[in-house]
Chains A and B, each alone.
Chain A
């Protein structure tokens, strides 16, 4: 105890850390909070009740996106000017609970950009209605706030808090369609599953913290290598493994990875398509980002700590091996199961749910490759993280486009069954072309963005194979990924087949919306990036590459 550590200096330090370092880099989240407060305030004051909550939410999100953009450009310029390594670009916030780096900045920008498009889409598709608007948007923004924290988590406790913060509003969102039993069922299933996995994850976190004596990410790898190098006779290795597996249960739930995916199809089918879009894009992006953060924490040697610890570093290789295999096996199973299960679906939202599961598998393959290469080839690891970031950015447009089309068609056709789309090409070719672009991009065919994303994932796997990082696993992941691409062709094409080849059903309720409309423009706006990023992807790749800098 040094004498100067009295309450006054402590408070002063805390104040300085919060106001001058943390808050300026926390502006997007603050925008979300302010918007939520504003939304709820408007509900209470009689005069302001007539203000459209969608407008408020959109305004708040635009501010958040602007700040996220400024932060991203700022960190991009820093890298460009000084060519600093990432460890120097890291900025720990709020006493090390959060971390701000290029990865945080990129994903926050993706999330905020998604929210802008998303809120416009919900306005056009009419869910939520005016009455529910304030509730809906405050839940969405609250959940997004949790996702921003997931993306920037730097502490296992923060991981739990962020996951819960992102999940709890989602449970309510799943039950938004109050009149429909399916929606309530979805919400209940989701909540029960979420609560269960959260409990397991929390238990895992406590086990890990018990063995390692720390919750802070940068310290975890140091402590792990110390514990493992000391020998596993004490049983601490076993506890550590168990803790890690339990932690991965919570993450796998958020990722909807097999075997923790059961909620996903039911929730997507029961909830509104708009909610499905939110869960499949934003929630997935945040979950993958968190997976990367946690996986790196358990496998990446802390730079600077390497001096005189070479023995301990070798011990860290065991931990890395474990992490890679857990993620790799989950990825292989998730991808294969998602694609096989999607084959039999008749409901479009269910099909997209399984497609989401499958894509989580592809994303996790790249994460596994990144972790495998983290010491052998930092550049390769960076490329793998880049692949993930790129994938998430393009996935935003593909999946939001798909769910948007489903939502807009639902308003006209009063159905979300695939069979209801029969012969749509004759009535509304524009929507079918847009859907074709989106689905073909999800298959991963050039010249669309989905192909580039898949290309980058596969190239990170090949990179891992050629550099000799966990080659056998990476080789089998590559084979499984390739095979899955072929399998996925079936069910995506089946939707297109129904839309184009099949005759118009007799009992069609009403005609779909005219494509030359605001809704059509929205869909076009979502589809054009899918094509543009498929052909001219240098710019987006450069941005994602910046985000990938956390690996090198």
Chain B
């Protein structure tokens, strides 16, 4: 379909590539380096336009139009799908689209990016290079959320790395070089594993296994010329591989899924390996405890706006990847490894909270709070596949996943806010030692009020955005494992402890004990205009979570229901069928040992991951 024929082409394409385009123009020599103000304003205008574009897609009623390419709330399927051939010999496509899972994250990204540019005004070093790299970073982040082709996804995923390396390494704090290379190294390790998994899935996939309806639903074929393309697929002699994420998911959920049937190594199926490799790649980004150590360094050394981006957006990429890619494509492995995901989530939750308690650096404490909060996301995603076996009620899974999605969005708001609040203070007194603060409330009352609101949102106080996600995740995990639920509920106390203690040491207290006391001036209008929207949204989403849930829930529920049905019909259904067949054979008088053996062999070969 030519770009002009598809009205959905421009909105998504512009959202993704406008920042990169402006970056390319800015990097031309015609923009003298000295015109810093112009560069700042151009960049801000770009991020604002991209934000408005994403709002135009997400909330048509604001603009009074209901045109093509705009999102229809309540419809769970992929919308605004753009499909153009890119590399035909590998079936790689320029395939974009949004649903209720990705769209809120897109809007979050454009929103946080805009605020982060506004927060970048104190950056004085190499302003031009900073803004060019920032815009490239924004393209990478948005591209990951909207791409539906695995190759394209990977390209965008990697495009983020280099700008982020330089943004931390050039504009960061004293240990910036160490933090930058550590960030790069961890992420690259994860993405190499991801690349291997992508290739394994690609070479095992075969779209010929899908039914005609599935081929149309997963956008493998164009609806306009469906009959023709389907017939060419049906007449193909060898397997047709695909990078299409929706098609890969459909193939992975087939009863005769080639991913589950292929054994790769150590007797484990390709599905299990792919799930593990992808999971490692994503949990490095989340980050989850054994692989989280890049995060405190990167957050602490990065300049304030980059910390906002890191915490507000980049960490969400991991959760998004697990939700969008790991579970739908490798459902069998997801089901059998649910304990791993849940366990990792709870471990990071508790570990992050304790580590945050131990910090004396304000920013490091906030960084560890991110580890703890993202643990809830992992737990919420993990309980997803937990229920099965006896009853196939998927409401609890859906609750957990909805909670995890909400937690990601809420954490995007609150953690970006927390890092910004720390940055405001650091810009004035140039230190972050928790024990040298105190009495900020009396010197900067407006700032302190806003900051405390944001920190309470992070704490998960009812009425603020952090509460909803945590409570949903904790409730849903009760049904999976009571111990995990109890631990995650108790973590809230730890969270309250470190945040209240920090508030006490920084904002309350008798007097300020650190250096540069005279620099504690009230917030500037620019700072206020960044803090206020964050606080406003933290309250709004706390009071009216429905605003977000109306987007998230339909898509999440659809995916959960699909996977629940998959568990019933395919996973357990096929096993029951095999068992029944074997019992039938046994009753027919076959050799008992032989019958049991063939039954177990068959189960093992079909569900090698069990």
- A residues at B contact (CB < 8 Å): 379, 425, 429, 433, 436, 440, 445-447, 451, 455, 458-459, 462-463, 465-466, 475, 478, 482-483, 485-486, 489-490, 493, 497, 500-501, 516, 537-538, 541-542, 545
Contacts and interface: CB of A to CB of B under 8 A. Distances in A.
Given A446-B159, A485-B188, 18 more contacts: A429-B129, A440-B162, A445-B158, A445-B162, A451-B155, A458-B195, A458-B199, A462-B196, A466-B203, A482-B196, A490-B185, A493-B165, A493-B181, A493-B184, A497-B177, A500-B170, A538-B89, A542-B89
Interface in B153-184: 154-155, 158-159, 161-162, 165-166, 169-170, 176-177, 181, 184
B200 A541 contact: no
B596 interface: no
B236 interface: no
25 contacts: A379-B238, A433-B27, A446-B155, A446-B158, A446-B159, A451-B155, A455-B199, A458-B196, A458-B199, A459-B203, A462-B196, A462-B202, A462-B203, A466-B200, A475-B264, A483-B192, A485-B188, A489-B184, A490-B181, A493-B165, A493-B181, A497-B181, A501-B170, A538-B88, A541-B87
Interface in B349-376: none
A490 B184 CA distance: 10
Nearest to A545: B89
Contacts of A542: 89
Interface of A is mostly: helix
B10 interface: no
A501 B89 contact: no
A501 B174 CA distance: 12
A466 B204 contact: yes
Nearest to A485: B192
B63 interface: no
A447 B202 contact: no
B265 interface: yes
A127 B279 CA distance: 52
Nearest to B33: A429
A451 B155 CA distance: 9
Nearest to B201: A462
Contact of A497 (B88, B169, B203, B265): B169
Contact of B185 (A455, A478, A482, A486): A486
Contact of A486 (B176, B177, B192, B265): B192
A475 B193 contact: no
Contacts of A446: 154-155, 158-159
Nearest to A440: B162
B262 interface: yes
Nearest to A516: B29
Contact of A538 (B87, B158, B169): B87
B265 A475 contact: yes
Contacts of A455: 195, 199
B96 to A, nearest CB: 16
A447 B155 CA distance: 6
Contacts of B86: 538
A541 B262 CA distance: 29
Contacts of B238: 379
A365 to B, nearest CB: 13
Q: Which 3 A-B pairs have the closest CB atoms?
A: A462-B199, A446-B155, A482-B192
Nearest to B89: A541
Contacts of B161: 445
B154 to A, nearest CB: 7
Interface in B225-263: 238, 262
B31 interface: no
Interface in B79-110: 86-89
B189 interface: yes
A333 B193 CA distance: 21
B185 A489 contact: yes
Given A446-B155, A497-B169, A537 B193 contact: no
Contacts of B165: 493
Contact of A500 (B169, B185, B264): B169
Nearest to A380: B203
Contacts of B88: 538
Contacts of B195: 455, 458, 482
A502 to B, nearest CB: 9
Interface in B488-547: none
Contacts of A445: 158, 161-162, 188
A501 B178 CA distance: 12
A541 to B, nearest CB: 6
A440 to B, nearest CB: 6
Nearest to A429: B129
B170 A463 contact: no
Given A465-B264, A497-B169, A538-B87, A459 B181 contact: no
A465 B265 CA distance: 10
Contact of A501 (B154, B169, B200, B262): B169
Nearest to B270: A466
Contacts of B262: 466
A463 B203 contact: yes
Contacts of A516: 29
B133 to A, nearest CB: 11
A500 B126 CA distance: 11
A451 B29 CA distance: 28
A323 to B, nearest CB: 23
Contacts of B188: 445, 485-486, 489
Nearest to A459: B199
A482 B155 contact: no
A158 B11 CA distance: 60
A429 B129 CA distance: 10
A363 to B, nearest CB: 18
A483 B192 CA distance: 8
B189 A486 contact: yes
A81 B192 CA distance: 40
A73 to B, nearest CB: 19
Centre residue among A436, A465, A478 by max chain B CB count within 10 A:
A465
B527 to A, nearest CB: 29
Contacts of B129: 425, 429
Contacts of A379: 238
A483 B165 CA distance: 20
B193 to A, nearest CB: 7
Nearest to B190: A486
Nearest to B87: A538
Given A445-B161, A451-B158, A538-B88, A482 B200 contact: no
A478 B203 CA distance: 14
Contacts of B155: 446-447, 451
A490 B169 CA distance: 14
Contacts of A538: 86-89
A501 B238 CA distance: 52
Contact of A462 (B89, B154, B189, B200): B200
Contacts of A545: 89
Nearest to B265: A475
A462 B166 CA distance: 33
Interface string B25-36: 001010000000
